[in-house]
Every structure is written in C-alpha cells, then in structure tokens.
Amino acid sequence: MNYTIDANVFVASARADEPEHLASLDFLTTLQALSVTVFCPSLVLAESSAAISRRTGDPVAAMALVSLIKNFAGLKLETVSAQMAERAAQIAADYRLLGADSIYVAVAEGVAATLVTLDNTILQRASNLVAVTTPADWLLAQQANSNLPS
C-alpha cells in the first residue's frame, strides 16, 4: 500500500503541544514498521520547516524535522513537475483546495496512495478523488484489521 503524508502530520508528531501529537507520532512510528512506500511532494520539507520555525522561532528544530522526514523509511520525494502542477491546479479549482493542499492530493492520486492528513478541508473535499484519512482513524483501522482472523 502507498501513502502520502501531509506536512501537518509530521509537524504534529514533532510538537507535543499539538492536539493530534500522539496520534500522529503513533501513526508515523507504526508506519515505519511496515513495508510501505510513502510518496510526498518535495514541498513537504519546506512546509514542515516553516511550520516549526514560525511557531517556535527555532531553526535548529525546524531542520531536525526536515532531517527526520528525509530519513523516513520508504519515503520517495516527488518533484512538482509542470504536469503535476497543472493537475494540482485543476484539483484546486474543482475541489476548492489551497494550492499546496492540491499538490498533496495530486501526488496521492498519481501513485494511488492513501492521503493522511489533519486538514478537515482536504478530508471533506478530496475524499471523492483519493482515499483520505487522519492518523487516528488509520490507527483505529489497523487495530480493527489486526483483530480479524487470518
């Protein structure tokens, strides 16, 4: 199974004061133990760094998160090509998403990935185009599936 992870999940996992910190951290830790491929737009690095630096004023913490993301097992950073940007523009127009959000949706669509996000707008508006879930809901689904007989 393929996944695309929104920057907000990485940021929440890195900041204990974020409402979804534990779920995001548990999700990322659990996902690391699985043999999955994670496709994220290269934009995830700048978005994550900016979110940490702007909130904390700590560029060292921001770059530490960037390093963690770059070393995430199974991660493939996708370059935003002109073709992907055009698809994202169409997604942004059709689903009324922010530009960066439409890039994540375009990546997930392009690789048939489940998009994991904390963004309610993406969860509501992109669900007809790609599979979307939150870290907490993904963890619940994993727990339910592990109780099934093999």
Q: Confirm if 44 and 77 have CB atoms less than 8 A apart.
A: yes
Q: Is residue 145 included in any domain, yes or no?
A: no
Q: Is residue 115 included in any domain, yes or no?
A: yes
Q: Is residue 92 included in any domain, yes or no?
A: yes
Tens of pLDDT along the chain (150 residues)? 899 999 999 999 999 999 999 999 999 999 998 989 999 999 999 999 999 999 999 999 999 999 999 999 999 999 999 999 999 999 999 999 999 999 999 999 999 999 999 999 999 999 999 999 999 999 999 988 875 444
Alpha carbon 128 to its chain's center: 18
CATH number at residue 116: 3.40.50.1010
* Cα–Cα distance, 120 to 123 (Å, whole number): 5
Q: Is residue 146 included in any domain, yes or no?
A: no
Q: Is residue 143 included in any domain, yes or no?
A: no
* Cα–Cα distance, 41 to 105 (Å, whole number): 10
Query: Considering the entire predicted model, what is its pTM?
Result: 0.95
Count of domains observed in the chain:
1
